[in-house]
Structure 1
Amino acid sequence: MGWLAYLVGIVLPYVALALFVVGFIYKIICWSRAPRHLPWELFPYPHTAGERLGEMVIEVASLRSLKLHNRNIWLPSLLMHFGIYAVVAWLFLVLLGLPVALLGYLGGVAAAAGSLWMFTKRLGRDLRILTTPVEYLNLLLVFLISAGGIITGFFGEGLAVREYMLGILSLSPRLPARPSLLWEIFFLEVFLVYLPFGRMIHFAAKYFTYHRVKWGESH
């Protein structure tokens, strides 16, 4: 267990972070070099920076496009996304040293419930033929991370998580005091490596989807 714990807790975090950064930059470069769409204004769209920012915030907060085009999975997707938002917020607040265990657990429950709900929805006859194996994998990964954070007590170990992350960031890593936390750390490492190369990177693609496709202009 010693060498395995060292691999997961000390070595793999840097490997996962490096692969995530490289993959993310590669995706951004590919999107930025993609051919521009024709400037066909088929519907009203925001022109000012403020209007565009507001439009994107509304989309991220409400998943309005999904509600319009696939209402059947809108609620479970909204629940899952808000759970993810809460977990990300928990992570940043933990780094600041704030006691926000409740936020982490609520986010974990919402993300786990939403991803499981989405998974069962996509097993239905109407959506099953439209769902690829990758989409099931994405939902399973979200469920494992969120449920793992609850089961291992990861969300309740803010101080230990903060010390561990600060050690990683300061290049002086130390294994967490509770070995069970390594399971959640491993799931997060897998997620970081997979993220830039899967469909879940769509959160970063929103900018290009809106600015270069929906709102593309000729000037």
Structure 2
Amino acid sequence: MKAIFSLLMVLALVVIATVGAGAAKMQTIFAYCIPGTAFIIFVVGFVCKIISWAKSPVPFRIPTTGGQQQTLDWIPQNKWDNPSTGPQTFIRMALEVLTFRSLFRNTKVVLKHDDGKNPIVAYVSAKWLWLFAILFHYGFFIVIVRHMRLFMQPVPAPIAFLDWSDSILQILTPSIYISDLLILGGLTMLLARRFTDAKVRYISLVNDYFPLFLILGIALSGVYMRYVAKVDIMSIKDVVMGLVTFNYKVPAGVDVSFFVHLFLVSTLLVYFPFSKLMHMGGVFLSPTRNMPNDTRMVHYENVWNNPAIKPHSYEAYEDEFREPMFEAGLPLEKTPEDAA
């Protein structure tokens, strides 16, 4: 039901854009007003969320580690999984962001049986999730960068080269983009995993399905525009450049599928800062990732320790609350009779 509800919400967005920009002839609103407002909400929400995370105090070193910490000279240190210096932490963050290193090392628990048919709990490699995530994220990144050619005139050479290399296979007319296949393949596999894996399906919520269906809708509407409707790309660029330069004009000769695509993108921009998708910025501020594990080399003191607050030992705590603890049946080192 959660997946169906999420799918229905995305379909409702498609209907709203189709009716609004088609039958209701509100192309200007869907071309300029809604995307402009969505972009402002995205930027303000993203910045506010990052600032709130950056202001959160982290008084202790709490990195998540997966290897040998630096100790004695003759014990090899795992520098990338348990960094102790700033440069090592930078390498670890780069591997995490660019290659999803921790996800690559992911394992899953399975129940096997030995020769005597006795059940044995085992941990096996689970690289498929890493592969799906890599396909989706890099496909999505290439699509975003490639779309920058619509916002610039003239188009910078690196973006033009990326656009050319993305369609280098030159299959069909117009040419199929490799990034389209990557993002559709990755999204399909990630959705299939949530449907087929009982454990993942049990813990999945609406806010897990909705962004996947929304991005899938964006990708499919983009594919439809390019390969089925075959929209006039120059007319679309005129609309986009008008949005960028604040030189608004009524869109002419643009297929309604473009407004559906743009409306779904605008919905994603509004949804982004308030969803789990904010891990895109949050990964850089995660103290479990961006802190070196140097607790054996540097002594840290809690700066919020109030000197006026004295330590309260368990012995003093029990002396203060012995009677209520005894009445509640809690274990005591001294009963009220012994303390008397």
Establish whether TM, by shorter chain, passes 0.5.
yes
Alignment equivalent of 1:19, drawn from 41, 49, 63: 41
| Corresponding residue of 1:66 | 103
Structure with bigger strand share is: 2
User: Structure 1 residue 6 and structure 2 residue 28: aligned?
Assistant: yes
Q: Is residue 87–residue 108 contact of structure 1 (8 Å, CA) maintained in 2? A: yes
2:55 alignment partner, one of 33, 38, 49: 33
Contact 1:109 1:147 in 2 (8 A): no
**Structure 1 residues 140-164: Cα deviation after superposition (integer angstroms, max 9, x where no partner):** 1111111111111299865444433
Separation of aligned partners in 2, 1:7 and 1:129: 40
CA distance in 1 between counterparts of 2:181 and 2:59 reads 40
Following TM superposition, by how much is the alpha carbon of 1:46 offset from its aligned partner in structure 2, in angstroms? 5.8
TM-score normalised to structure 1 length: 0.84
The verdict on how the C-alpha distance between 1:166 and 1:185 changes in structure 2, with shifts beyond 3 A counting, is same
The equivalent residue for 1:182 is 259
Aligned mates of 2:28, 2:205 — CA distance in 1: 36
Structure of larger gyration radius: 2
Which consecutive residues of structure 1, in runs of 5 or more, have no partner in the other structure?
A: none
Q: 1:85 aligns with which of 125, 141, 152?
A: 141
Structure 2 equivalent of residue 149 of structure 1: 222
* Matched AA of 1:164: V
Residue matched to 2:204:
131
Name the counterpart of 1:103: 166
Q: Which position in structure 1 is the counterpart of 2:14?
A: none
CA deviation string 1:68-119 (max 9, x = no partner): 2353422211111111011012122444423827738322221122111101
- Say which structure is richer in helix: 1
Determine what percentage of the aligned residue pairs are the same residue: 19
Aligned residues: 216
Aligned residue for 2:288, secondary structure, equals helix
In the other structure, the counterpart of 1:48 is 86
Please give the alpha-carbon distance, in whole angstroms, between the structure 1 residues aligned to 2:208 and 2:201.
11
* Alignment equivalent of 2:288, drawn from 197, 213, 216: 213
2:279 is matched with 202
Where does structure 2 lack aligned partners over 5 or more consecutive residues?
Answer: 1-21, 70-81, 108-125, 168-176, 293-299, 302-340
Distance in 1, matches of 2:48 and 2:30, equals 25
> Counterpart of 2:291 in structure 1: which amino acid?
G
Change (3 A) 1:102 1:133: farther
The AA in structure 1 aligned to 2:241 is: L
